[in-house]
Chains A and B, each alone.
Chain A
Amino acid sequence: MNSVGRTERTEPLNVTVAGACAQSRHLLEVLCILQQQLLHLSDQTVCAVSEHLGLPVGQVESVVEFYSFLYKTPRGKYHILFSNCPSCGFRQDGRNLLHVLCDRLHVVAGETRADGLVSVDETSCIGMCDQGAALLVNGIPITRLDSVKIMRVAERVETEVALSDWPAEWFRVEDNIRRSGLLLKNGFAAGAGIRAALARGFDATLAEITRSGLRGRGGAGFSAGIKWALCREAQGTAHYVLCNADEGEPGTFKDRVLLHSHADAVFEGMTLCAAVIGAKQGFLYLRGEYRYLLPQLQTMLTHRREVGLLGNHILGQRGFDFDIEIVVGAGAYICGEESALIESLEGKRGVPRNRPPFPVTHGYLGQPTVVNNVETFAAAAHISLRSSAWFRAAGTEKSMGSKILSVSGDCSAPGIYEYPFGVTMRQVLDDCGARDVQAVQIGGPSGTLIGSAEFHRTLGFEDLPTGGSFMVFGHERDLLAMIVNFAHFFAHESCGFCTPCRVGTTLLKNGLDRIANGHGTQYDVDEMKRLGILVKQRSHCGLGQTAANSVLDCLHRFPHVFEQRLAQDSHEPCFDLDAALEEARRITHRDDAAAHLD
């Protein structure tokens, strides 16, 4: 907070801040608006926001420093973030598109060009893995990148063409629905689920949801019916419904498609939940990367209010009052963890809470709260409309219904595939046109790495649970590079609350970098295993508890991936002397042979 920011005149800043505060009651949204307008959040801005909202300056500062899309130092007028997910990553046909753009624009990655026009950096997966390499420019996605398009982007930046005048085609995001099942095949008329629930009664609707066997689609697979019942029984001054649309797991984009093309079912599921638990207010927590969907979703909410599906006396039912507000995140994977999401919604850093108590009794503002995934709510709406028997007809004994998969990576038809639970991996691979597959990462970096010997395994809570990410790695892929990518992801996304994850994810990252760079020894491999187990067993929340999964899986199933990279000498120094000279080289503008040790 002590850096000398840019000189800003107090008067206009106060006016700008007041304007932003008038637009939203949520600290995070106010900060996002100001970030867009001022290109950074200086110490003065932080103080002004704290004054306007009556919040401690320390709270505002702590939030600004937490979220990836909020900056203390100015970003460019064009701020470009490449998605660094291994599926949709920016390395294409052997070319690093980020470097191509940086070279063309004479900008150093992570820094803002001296004239303030442009900044280029990378960001965690933006959920466009089925659209080719992708980036965000001032928060809006551009898909299907190649070096030609990168050159065109550079031209428009240099000549300061307004984003609204860039080719609309660049911003097109396809649904790519390749296989439809229960939820995607069947149409859903707005209001149909609520009408069915009104006819049946809300108690009977809860019973129907419970009977359907619907389990959470976002992670742990907890029974939706039991969760709603627990929340309904919990005492509180108000009850809340939260829809988790943070979808931060790299390689997952099915919630993007549901929100783009099936949002009515999602909102309707939330409304049914509200009816069951007695909530008047709901929130949809939309990841910052999907902000481009906001106008469309707002229009939809407005429409639902107009036709009596939201607001007071829904469909004429006295006392059935409920409305939904959309709150947008700002770049933090941890905010998908339900209690961190609640903290974020309350205008704080997204740090997971201690449990018990659980959100169903002490959630948003300490009140009983249901948090469910986008797909869970959509399924609930369909179940209300069509019955639990219809739902149970698909799937397996412990995994009823269908699962929507986000398939990406080395296959000919990446996109959205909906299957009944119990489908084999081989079936999915055949359907998406994946040949010559080395491994599949199921459930994203936090999930399971499976090799070809086990492609007979099935997707479902009995065998391989998944939030929906299905990343295909062909034989050409360097698996170790994937593991390194994941390790960087977790170190970057750790919230920093608990010791094993805060320090452990960085140690894992450093150790894997060392091995990948050919400086690792068997000792380093053993250390990765020991550290990985500690981080997995002793971390506070699901992020840390799964952060080492891919390393441990890879050590278990693909040990040669590590072995073939190890240095022959078992006495490699842990300190890279040559790398330590990098700063000196940069300062002296030298990169000749004599400036290196090797």
Chain B
Amino acid sequence: MSAGANQPEFSPNTFTMDGIEIPFKDGQTLMDAALAAGVYIPHLCHHPGLTPHGSCKLCMVDIGSGRASSCTTPAVAGQQVSNNTPALNEARRTLTQMLFIEGNHLCPSCEKTGNCTLQAMAYHLGMLEGHFPQFFQRREVDASHSTVMLDRDRCILCELCVRASREVDGKNVFAVAGRGITARLIVNSPSGKLADSDLEIDDLAAHICPVGAILIKAHAYEIPIGWRTFDLRQIDEIGPEKVIQARVGHTDD
């Protein structure tokens, strides 16, 4: 990271984020580079190794006077990026509230509590209430599959399961249908039911859900509340990636 002779301020392959110099390789996004450098940018729809999506907008940053989603924006040498600012975190808190009130998130009765990235994000951003009136949307539960359960009440439409199935599992189990506030996760099978799909318990798609929308049956509450991932640590200490890795490992045995 030593500065070149002609460019006193930046070596060609670094940018700054909140004043910290971050190196990057050609083609890396701001998010990739920041994660590799151990800098946390809040994110819900991003997972390293899957095609970036850019839909949750939690990862938004300011670049000079411009704005960008860091998970989809290529890093450019010399950029000055703001990430951990009060204004951005306030906007992120509002977006998190939007995700809460759009679905039906009753944390105390959800198996995912303590392991849920959305909940951890809310804590991280200091969100104390949903703020907006609840939408109370009616959403369908699919318990047809022998080992995996789909509760759409909690789906935040991040499409991690959609991409994991296509890009890692080599299948195409999930899709999003519809438009606007009525958009919903669907299962790509003739009956629309998980039981008719080729989803298997070892698929990444069965484990990648950041919230309690896709749950593994018969493994509920194996780790007691109070001892769960985000009961012990903040989301910005570990990021959700490691949680997912641990989860896949856990059910593999």
Contacts and interface: CB of A to CB of B under 8 A. Distances in A.
B178 A496 contact: yes
B186 A349 contact: no
A481 B203 CA distance: 51
Contacts of B176: 62, 349, 496
B135 A506 contact: yes
Interface residues of B, number: 44
Nearest to A533: B91
Interface stretch (A51-59, A296-304, A454-462): A51-59
A540 B135 CA distance: 22
A5 to B, nearest CB: 12
A478 to B, nearest CB: 25
B94 to A, nearest CB: 6
Interface string B190-211: 1111000000000000000000
Interface string B51-64: 01111111010000
B50 interface: no
Interface in A502-556: 502-507, 510, 530-531, 534, 537-540
A2 B193 contact: yes
B132 interface: yes
Contacts of A499: 55-58, 95, 98-99
B246 to A, nearest CB: 27
Nearest to A348: B175
Contacts of B8: none
Nearest to B74: A356
Contacts of B179: 65-67, 332, 334, 349, 493-496
Main secondary structure of the interface of A (DSSP, over half): helix
Contacts of B101: 503
Contacts of B230: none
Contacts of A122: none
Contact of B98 (A43, A507, A537): A507
B181 interface: yes
Interface residues of A, number: 45
A190 interface: no
B95 A57 contact: no
B188 A496 contact: no
B232 interface: no
Interface in B78-122: 91, 94-95, 98-99, 101-102
A47 interface: yes
A58 B199 CA distance: 14
B174 interface: yes
Contacts of A506: 135, 180-181
B55 A497 contact: yes
A492 interface: yes
Given A499-B99, A503-B102, A510-B133, A57 B177 contact: no
Given A496-B183, A540-B69, 15 more contacts: A57-B188, A57-B190, A58-B172, A58-B188, A62-B177, A65-B184, A491-B180, A495-B180, A497-B183, A498-B54, A498-B57, A502-B102, A503-B99, A503-B181, A505-B181
Report, nearest first, the 9 A-B pairs whose CB atoms are least far apart.
A58-B188, A1-B192, A496-B183, A58-B175, A503-B98, A62-B177, A65-B178, A65-B177, A494-B180
